[in-house]
Amino acid sequence: MLKFTSDMLIRDVLVARPDAVDVFERHGLACASCLASGMETVSAVATMHNVSVEALLNELNGLPTSFAKEE
């Protein structure tokens, strides 16, 4: 199972888990439509938008595994 970390690019999170868009949106982050998603890390985006990195990662890593993209 993939574990999301603060240094991962937003794009990589969304490619691995398309359902992660809901997590970002719940935190007020429009990452799926942002052109910077291929350059910004989870930590940078969270910090920039005053979102707890820990809370965001906890929610991303708590997504149900049944929706994970097959590798």
Q: Total domain count for the chain?
A: 1
Give the Cα separation of 23 and 28 in Å (integer).
Answer: 9
Question: What residues make up the domain containing 44?
Answer: 10-63
Mark residue 23 as left, alpha or beta (left: phi above 0; alpha: psi -120 to 50; beta: remaining): alpha
pLDDT reported for residue 65: 80
Query: Would 4 be classed as within a structural domain?
Result: no
Query: Would 70 be classed as within a structural domain?
Result: no
pLDDT tens-place string over residues 24-51: 999 999 988 888 889 999 999 999 999 9
Query: Would 58 be classed as within a structural domain?
Result: yes
**Banded model confidence at residue 6, pLDDT cuts 50, 70, 90:** very high
Query: Would 3 be classed as within a structural domain?
Result: no
pTM for this entry: 0.85
Burial class (CB in 10 A: 0-12, 13-18, 19+), 26: exposed
